[in-house]
Amino acid sequence: MGQPVRDYLLTLCVTAAVTYLLTGPVRKFAIAAGAMPEIRARDVHREPTPRLGGIAMFFGLCAGLLVASHLENLSSVFDLSNEPRALLSGAALIWLIGVLDDKFEIDALIKLGAQMIAAGVMVMQGLTILWLPIPGVGTVALTQWQGTLLTVALVVITINAVNFVDGLDGLASGMTCIAAGAFFLYAYRIWFGYTIEAAAPATLFAVLLIGMCLGFLPHNMHPARIFMGDSGSMLIGLILAASAISITGQVDPDALKIFEGSTREATHAALPVFIPLVLPLTIIAIPVADLILAIVRRTWHGQSPFAADRGHLHHRLLEIGHSHSRAVLIMYFWSALIAFGTLAYSVHSASMWIVLLIVVLSAAGLVLLLLPRFTPQAPRWAESFVPPRYRRHRFAATEPAAGSPAASAAPVEERTPVPAGVNGATAIGHRSRFTDRRKAGTPS
């Protein structure tokens, strides 16, 4: 089992490295191409930032697929299944539409149609839902039309859910990376734990998605130097949906009856076996909730469901007082809690400790959510490892007390008020000239 893990790690590292190394040149290309839209009313950032980060992510995906196709333990995925080719075809189409949108602002209905076409391309090549394991019923086989409609719906919903949550620096890539990590652990367990090879494509897709997000995150963390744009958000949304479709609709539940008895008993007793019905929903629970709330909110106010606004969950976190970084971390926390909590419960469904731990972590998350202005202070020994805003003792030691000789001896330019309407750069020049006049004895 060690060799497959090394192959997956190599694929992940290659995907992340290619994405990371290409993002810098892509940023220069986006600036030269003019893919830097003006600041909109709903935007959080204050300076024009280039888009088209999805270009680097797509080439990272291609590099990961190329490497995986030549590895001993992963090449069988390409030999026995057409799903990697189906994924690449759909990804290339949705990526191209995203690149055009990042540059020319394509209409929302055209993008929706392109998403449906990309999903249809994958369905035509075999990446579709064939059956559903339903608790209490067993395995329900789907007709061709049912499977196609369900597959297209899942792809479109996931793409738009990820696209909607892409509103803060590092938010969409980080949340998708967390979701892909949980999905990889589950798919890997199904493949090598239950020796079901049909889970191999989903495992590979999850690893590729982790690598793409990890490679892009260093460039996208606050303050972001580049945005992934629709070319990136729609791409990672499609790959996440493809992973869910592959393991939900392609893994035959009947193959697991040797572990749990009959199919009906397996459905009741083996939550780890049928968790793919639930795990894809829990992984995108927060983005989907944001999507549903946005549609309801806009429709209620008589707006188009595709009209952009500042009512998303991350916007609300900023409005109640959370900083940009803290809002992102809170969204990370809830995504990880839901995804990995479901995964842990699927492994040890009979353990009450899992439930208690999830409850405790949920309570801690609510406390952090409701106390936006609470800033924890690090202990003295840890001050050198945390950002300056968490260092209580350093400020207390370096700032002179009011009225002390040290305070009165402070430089003149530090105590001179800045005239109203003067920006930072002008203020520095104003204070310097004022100090020079004082030193020369010239009246101000």
Residue 134's beta-bridge partner residues? 138
d(CA 20, CA 200): 26
Strands 131-134 and 138-141: antiparallel
Binding site as annotated, residues for Mg(2+): 163, 230
444 in Cβ contact with 437 (< 8 Å): yes
Q: How far from 104 is each of 33, 35, 185, 248, 440, CA to CA, in Å?
A: 11, 8, 39, 36, 57
DSSP letters of 300-331? HTT--TT---S-SHHHHHHHTT--HHHHHHHH
- 3-class secondary-structure state, position 139: strand
Residue that is written with structure tokens 């893994």 in the block: 251
Q: How far from 12 is each of 8, 68, 197, 214, CA to CA, in Å?
A: 6, 10, 20, 9
What is the length of the chain?
444
Q: How many other CB atoms sit within 10 Å of the CB of residue 166? A: 26
Residue 140's beta-bridge partner residues? 132
Q: What angle do CA 155, 161, 162 make, to 5 degrees?
A: 95
Binding site as annotated, residues: 163, 230
Residue 400 identity (one-letter amino acid): P
| CA proximity to 13, closest of 220, 211, 216 | 211
d(CA 384, CA 378): 9
93 in Cβ contact with 118 (< 8 Å): yes
Phi, psi of 134 (to 5 degrees): -110, 120
d(CA 183, CA 417): 56
- Assigned token pair, 136: 């209490």
